[in-house]
Amino acid sequence: MATILKAQGLRASLPTRRAAPVPGALPRCVPVPALRSPALSMAPLPLHSRVAQKTTTLGRRSLSVKAQAASAPAPAAKPAFKWGANMKDLAICVGISVALWFVPPPAGVTAKAWHLLAVFIGTIVGIITTPLPLGAVAILGLGAAMITKVLTFAEAFSAFASEIPWLIAIAYFLAGGFIKSGLGNRIAYAIVGALGKTTLGLTYALVFAEALLSPAIPSVAARAGGIFFPLAKALCLACGSDPEKGTEKKMGAYVMKTCFQTTTVSSAMFITAMAANPLAVNLAAAAGINISWGTWALAGLVPGVICLIMVPLILYVLYPPEVKDTPDAPAAAARELEKLGPMSTNEKITAGAFAVTVALWIFGGSIGINAVAAAIVGLFILLVTNVTTWKECLNNNAAWDTLTWFAALIAMAAALNKFGFIPWLSNSVVQVVGGLGLGWQPAFGIVVALYFYSHYFFASGAAHIGAMYTAFLAVATACGTPPMLAAIALGQLSNLMGCLTTYGIGSAPPYFGAGYVKQGDWLRLGFILSLFYLAVWLGVGGVWWKAIGLW
């Protein structure tokens, strides 16, 4: 090191600019920064050393860049653009609406009513084909109605202040607490332990339990969505049937579809089993036909019981579960119950919340508490005790999606009635059927069929009854149909026609929204069962009504 310092120190006194030789002890490729001596850092390097350093450094950088280029992965290809909707189905919906829009409206129908009908039918087609999620389809339908100035904002969103959509949404929240607390599993295991040797036996237990409660709970949405839907879902999950795991057809699809269909039957059997039934009774009374609770129940007894027995069997053939016999299920359920041990605090709280809610659904009307307020009381109990949380409610996508599309359809259907399309349709039917000159039996059959299947245009039984019941009752009696027979038949069928769609009655959205049954299967089976209901109610029911003196 001393030699190096001496050589560098003598550099200025040399007569030539020849660079000092690089000592053999030092490799020429070592760059200056590797030498930590302050003296060296102050002295300038010879020219050839600086060139060597620069060349070496550049060479290293070049090698480093080449190495990095060789080792770095090739840049990933940009993902291809993907539509957020099924554009073919969306084009069909839009095309149908546009085509109807430019068809001249019939005499007696305003342009505004006809244009709303075009938007409504396009939305219904979208609900069926689902180019987007149902809530998105419904919101786009409302948007189209507002953009075309067919509906104002207040008219488009009026049904979001309606009772039924909110009752269904809160029922979803209650169901979440019911399952999260473990109470749903406990009750499901108990049912499986008692009746679990077959899927059919489990289904019958749910069907007849719901029918027994139906006279006491005047809201089918509350009864189905708040009590039996969460129980049915817990039962399906306990048996390993979950749409999120692709096992919906194991038993859940059959159970959900059957439980829904039989809610329309139980609702038809009693005046107090569905909120719109008293409206039919009042409209009949205005026409001079007085129907008592007992008369209605007696009329619905035989056809109703036949349907409650036969519908599970029919669907068992048309839409069978993959798992039919479960001989080991009772023993397995008993073991699961043993694992659960005694009821937890959350289970007891949930049971109490449901007991309070059901009691208010039964007796709340007498003290001015509606079904939504009663459900909120139950939800309040679950929230303040942390059985469920508001964040979990916000994350319940099915609840908010159902609230959205159901309220949107109710709003558009109500506007169709307000703008005069539904009254025009009713009067047209009256004129056509009345002018055929048929006997009362075939004339009444035509009236019933038109009344029943026009429900595809309605998202509410109450709206359908309010818009069409009086007119169809008038034409039926004018054709010679016995008044009591016509009034009760139309009233009870006003419940059964809810079987057709995913939106026609308050019990449909929760069962459909669970995701067990595909839209196509829902509509197909609903139409098939509608034919069965009409045959039983008008065939067997007609004979029964004759026997009890209704005609």
For residue 56, the model assigns a pLDDT of: 54
Instruction: Indicate if the pLDDT at residue 362 is higher than 90.
Output: no
Q: What would the mean pLDDT of 247-269 be, rounded to a whole number?
A: 94
- Using 50, 70 and 90 to split pLDDT, how confident is the model at 334? confident
For residue 53, the model assigns a pLDDT of: 54
For residue 10, the model assigns a pLDDT of: 45
Q: What would the mean pLDDT of 51-75 be, rounded to a whole number?
A: 55
**DSSP H stretches of helix in 111-162:** 111-129, 134-147, 153-156
pTM over 0.75: no
Owner of token pair 């007569």: 15
- Using 50, 70 and 90 to split pLDDT, how confident is the model at 517? very high
Instruction: Indicate if the pLDDT at residue 147 is higher than 90.
Output: yes
Instruction: Indicate if the pLDDT at residue 62 is higher than 70.
Output: no
- Classify each residue of 195-207 as buried b or exposed e, where b means 16 or more C-beta atoms within 10 Å of its C-beta: bbebbbbbbbbbb
Q: What would the mean pLDDT of 389-410 be, rounded to a whole number?
A: 88
For residue 41, the model assigns a pLDDT of: 44
Is the Cβ–Cβ distance between 93 and 114 less than 8 Å? Answer: no
For residue 382, the model assigns a pLDDT of: 96
- What are the pLDDT digits (tens) for 5-44? 444 444 444 444 444 454 444 444 444 444 444 443 444 5
Enumerate residues 6+ apart whose C-beta is below 8 A from 314.
Answer: 528, 529, 532
Instruction: Indicate if the pLDDT at residue 379 is higher than 90.
Output: yes
For residue 67, the model assigns a pLDDT of: 53
Is the Cβ–Cβ distance between 488 and 296 less than 8 Å? Answer: yes
For residue 36, the model assigns a pLDDT of: 43
Instruction: Indicate if the pLDDT at residue 488 is higher than 50.
Output: yes
Instruction: Indicate if the pLDDT at residue 155 is higher than 70.
Output: yes
**DSSP H stretches of helix in 181-251:** 183-195, 199-213, 220-223, 229-238
For residue 40, the model assigns a pLDDT of: 39
Cα-Cα end-to-end distance for the chain: 127
Instruction: Indicate if the pLDDT at residue 230 is higher than 50.
Output: yes
Instruction: Indicate if the pLDDT at residue 374 is higher than 80.
Output: yes
- Using 50, 70 and 90 to split pLDDT, how confident is the model at 4? very low
- Using 50, 70 and 90 to split pLDDT, how confident is the model at 49? low
Is the Cβ–Cβ distance between 433 and 443 less than 8 Å? Answer: yes
- What are the pLDDT digits (tens) for 277-333? 887 888 888 888 888 888 999 999 999 999 999 999 999 999 999 988 877 778 877
- To the nearest whole percent, how much of the chain has pLDDT over 90? 37
- Residue of 404, 528, 345, 436 whose CA lies nearest to 137: 404
**Widest distance between CA atoms in the chain:** 140
- Using 50, 70 and 90 to split pLDDT, how confident is the model at 70? low
136-140's contacts with Cβ under 8 Å and 24+ in sequence apart are 137/93, 137/405, 138/404, 138/405, 138/407, 138/408, 138/409, 139/404, 139/408
Compute the Cα dihedral for 303, 304, 305, 310 and give only its sign: positive
Is the Cβ–Cβ distance between 492 and 448 less than 8 Å? Answer: no
- Using 50, 70 and 90 to split pLDDT, how confident is the model at 490? very high
Q: What would the mean pLDDT of 475-489 be, rounded to a whole number?
A: 89
- What are the pLDDT digits (tens) for 461-473? 877 887 778 788 8
Angle at 289 between CA 285 and CA 293, to 5 degrees: 75
- What are the pLDDT digits (tens) for 406-449? 788 888 888 888 898 878 877 887 778 777 777 888 989 999 99
- What are the pLDDT digits (tens) for 184-201? 778 878 877 787 788 898
Least confident of 375-384, 401-410, 455-464: 455-464
Q: What is the mean pLDDT of the chain?
A: 83
Instruction: Indicate if the pLDDT at residue 47 is higher than 70.
Output: no
